[in-house]
């Protein structure tokens, strides 16, 4: 089974999916990310799916689950780089990716995380 690498950049974890995801790799990624968020105290996770050609119900559910898990661990997840054909197909499949934040690209994803963090700091300084 191929494992998707998780990179750390400042207080953001970055996952760039470059392989055709097999179900086990998806489940492993979920666990790796949860561990890494706690280990590093990351405040955000970016999942870059620029290279992902399809999202089916399994992978879609995984993205929602990862977003929920990291939120419980005090980190926001942003999915970036979704291809237009993937978005069209997801909607027709019936998947809304509830609770998953998206941004068009990595740069906008980082900006979104900074913005969210700024809003959070304004409410509860830490």
Pairing mode of beta strands 12-16, 6-9: antiparallel
Applying CB under 8 A, the residues found at the interface with other proteins are 20-24, 53-58, 60-61, 83-86, 88-89, 92-95
Least separation, in Å, of the C-beta of 89 and other proteins? 5
DSSP symbols for 62-96: HHHHHHHHHHHTT-EEEEE---HHHHHHHHHHT--
- Binding partner of 53, given other proteins, ligand ATP, none, CB within 5-8 angstroms per partner class: other proteins
Smaller CB separation from ligand ATP, 91 or 121 = 91
Smaller CB separation from other proteins, 22 or 114 = 22
Q: Exposure of 28 by Cβ count < 10 A (0-12 exposed, 13-18 middle, 19+ buried)? A: middle
Interatomic CA distance for residues 22 and 11, integer angstroms: 28
Q: Which of 23, 27, 30 is nearest to 6 (CA)?
A: 30
- Binding partner of 24, given ligand ATP, other proteins, none, CB within 5-8 angstroms per partner class: other proteins
**Cβ–Cβ < 8 Å for 67, 36:** no
18 binds ligand ATP (CB under 6 A): no
Pick one of 18, 24, 39, 57: the residue that binds ligand ATP (CB under 6 A).
57
Least separation, in Å, of the C-beta of 59 and ligand ATP? 10
Smaller CB separation from other proteins, 12 or 79 = 79
**Residue 89, token pair as written in the block:** 């197909």
Contacts with ligand ATP by CB under 6 A lie at 57-58
């Amino acid at each position: 089974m191929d494992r998707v690498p998780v990179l750390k950049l400042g207080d953001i974890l970055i996952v760039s999916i470059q392989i055709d995801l097999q179900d086990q790799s998806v489940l492993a990624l979920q666990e790796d990310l949860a561990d890494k968020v706690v280990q590093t105290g990351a405040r955000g996770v970016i999942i870059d799916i620029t290279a992902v050609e399809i999202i089916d119900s399994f992978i879609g559910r995984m993205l929602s689950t990862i977003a929920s898990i990291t939120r419980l661990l005090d980190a926001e997840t942003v999915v970036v780089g979704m291809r237009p054909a993937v978005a069209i197909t997801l909607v027709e499949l019936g998947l809304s990716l509830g609770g998953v934040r998206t941004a068009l690209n990595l740069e906008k994803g980082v900006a979104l995380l900074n913005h969210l963090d700024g809003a959070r700091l304004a409410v509860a300084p830490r």
